[in-house]
Amino acid sequence: MIKITKQTRHIVVLIFLSYLFFMLGNSLLSLTSPDEVFYAQTAKEMAKHHSWVTPYLFDEPQFEKPIFLYWLLWFAFMLFGVSSFGARFFPALFAILGVIAVYLLAVLGFRDNKKAFMSAFILMSAGFYIGLARTVFTDMIFTVFILLALVSFFWGYSCREKKMLGILLFFIFSGLAVLTKGPIGFLISFLTIVLFLLVKNDLKFLLCRYSLWGVIVFLGISLPWYIIMIQKYGHDFTHEFFYNDHFRRIIEAEHKRYDTWYFYLFSMIAYMFPWSLFVLMAMIYFFRNLKHDFSAINVFLACWISVVFCIFQPAHSKLSSYILPLFPALAIITGNFVCNKMSLEPKIQRNSYLLAFSIFVVLWVILFMHSYIDPYVSSKLSAEYLLKNYKVESYILCSKPFVRGVRYYTDKPVAVVNIHSTEDNFFSLHPIPYFHSKEELVEFLKKQPVTYCILKKSSIDEIKSLAGKEFNFTLLKAVGNQYIFVVSFLRNL
């Protein structure tokens, strides 16, 4: 009879629960604007242009992110069709892998299955992790590659007979992280292990032939796509990708209200909800007692958190998703803390699991209400109404938040109206008409006899002010926070 180990049972349970938390019901809510549709539309247009190398958006090459997520989306669309479930499949799958990786790292570090299970369970049930697992972003895939790289290294470090494989896997996963979100993927993982080895006075561990082989493999994975893009597009690619999408985010805030000294400190605690209070207590306890418990896993986790925080804190562009790579470390620290407290207060265990499942209930309440939420987060219903009831043969004029979604759901040319707004243009290049002034908008509307519009409420007055002798303005339908209008140029009627 085959004996099933406790670790195997734990992993099976975690996979099942992760499926419920991350993947089940992913087809209910339409792809949201502006980011999910950005990635999905890019994959669609790559297929349309038969391009495995160059990402496309608005039928032009776009250089905002590396290629790996688009490959995954393209593959998912071939498997499941172009759908919200297909687009969200790989972020959810990688989130499941992340939960299992945290379990394995905690087993390696603590030699305690209970602490490992609790650590993985905390990550799996953290609200922000669930949200990004169910969202088409690069962040989850990027984070899991960094996590797998660090787990591989720690495996090789803890089990010296696995040193060669651990180091090689570290460089493989680091290369895939670079192919997912850029050079920062290697910077995070490499600085973490170097700082760890320096603190442990064991830098010689990395100075071996396995590292040389690993560097060769890393370069073979990460460099070819960048070399091809630089050769093909030259300055256009290097300026947009390396300056605009990387260096500019360091020196300039894309979202100015987030550029504060406390933003990431707040995010680390708040976005681990419903475990926030436990995380706060665990972090205080962890760093206070680090000098008394200088074990390899504790030093490793401290270096991991410090590197991620020190890399992203000085940059002026701040988003909570940027520090997702430290959430696995937070979960392990918190899992260890909670399990230690459980031994003193058994009722904490019961309350902890009830706390985690409360967010599962909240998640399913949200999914159950998807028909009420959809009109406010997605342009699918507006686009479907327009295409079903009217013959759209020209540009669709959109408010800025809706333009990517309208493009995704209609495959029609789009333009943006943004008069009298304090918002800037898109942070990255968008090769579409963008109207900041009434004069520009009038010239555009005169070039097509009928213009259909999907606008937010604040943009309505910008269009209505044109009504009069030259233009006729008609409201067709309101869908959530989106208003569908038609503007007719009277001289051409």
Q: pLDDT by residue (tens digit) across 50-73? A: 999 999 999 899 998 999 999 999
Residue pointed to by tokens 């406390």: 262
Residue-wise pLDDT for 199-211, tens only, equals 999 899 998 899 9
Minimum mean pLDDT among 139-143, 191-195, 288-292, 450-454: which range?
288-292
- Residue 428 to residue 244: CA distance in whole angstroms: 7
Contact in structure between 279 and 272 (CB atoms under 8 Å): yes
Taking 90 as the threshold, does the pLDDT of residue 328 lie above it? yes
- Residue 363 to residue 26: CA distance in whole angstroms: 11
Contact in structure between 194 and 307 (CB atoms under 8 Å): no
pLDDT score at 240: 85
Contact in structure between 23 and 92 (CB atoms under 8 Å): yes
In the structure encoding, which two tokens stand for residue 137, read together?
A: 């972003």
CA 299 to chain centre: 28
Cα distances (Å, whole numbers) of residue 256 to 177, 260, 314, 315, 424: 27, 9, 14, 12, 11
**Contacts by 357-364 with C-beta closer than 8 Å and gap 24+?**
357/125, 358/274, 359/125, 359/127, 359/130, 359/273, 359/274, 360/20, 360/21, 360/125, 363/21, 363/130, 364/25
Partnered with residue 167 across adjacent β-strands are none
- Residue 37 to residue 19: CA distance in whole angstroms: 23
Residue 1 pLDDT class (50, 70, 90 cuts): very low
Rg of the chain taking only CA atoms, in angstroms: 25
Sign of the alpha-carbon torsion through 116, 124, 273, 320: positive
In the structure encoding, which two tokens stand for residue 353, read together?
A: 């699991």
The CA-based dihedral angle spanning residues 473, 474, 476, 478, taken in that order and rounded to the nearest 10 degrees: 70
Minimum mean pLDDT among 105-109, 233-237, 348-352: which range?
348-352
Taking 90 as the threshold, does the pLDDT of residue 362 lie above it? no
Taking 80 as the threshold, does the pLDDT of residue 10 lie above it? yes
- Omega before 34 within 30 of 0, i.e. cis: yes
Minimum mean pLDDT among 160-169, 235-244, 357-366: which range?
357-366
Residue 109 pLDDT class (50, 70, 90 cuts): very high
pLDDT score at 350: 65
Residue type, 136: V
3-state secondary structure of 213: helix
DSSP assignment string, 77-108: HHHH-SSHHHHHHHHHHHHHHHHHHHHHHHHH
**HSE of 61, CA atoms in CB hemisphere, 13 A:** 17
3-state secondary structure of 470: coil
Which carries the bigger pLDDT value, residue 438 or residue 238? 238
Residues 6+ apart with CB under 8 A from 224: none
Residue-wise pLDDT for 334-345, tens only, equals 999 988 876 656
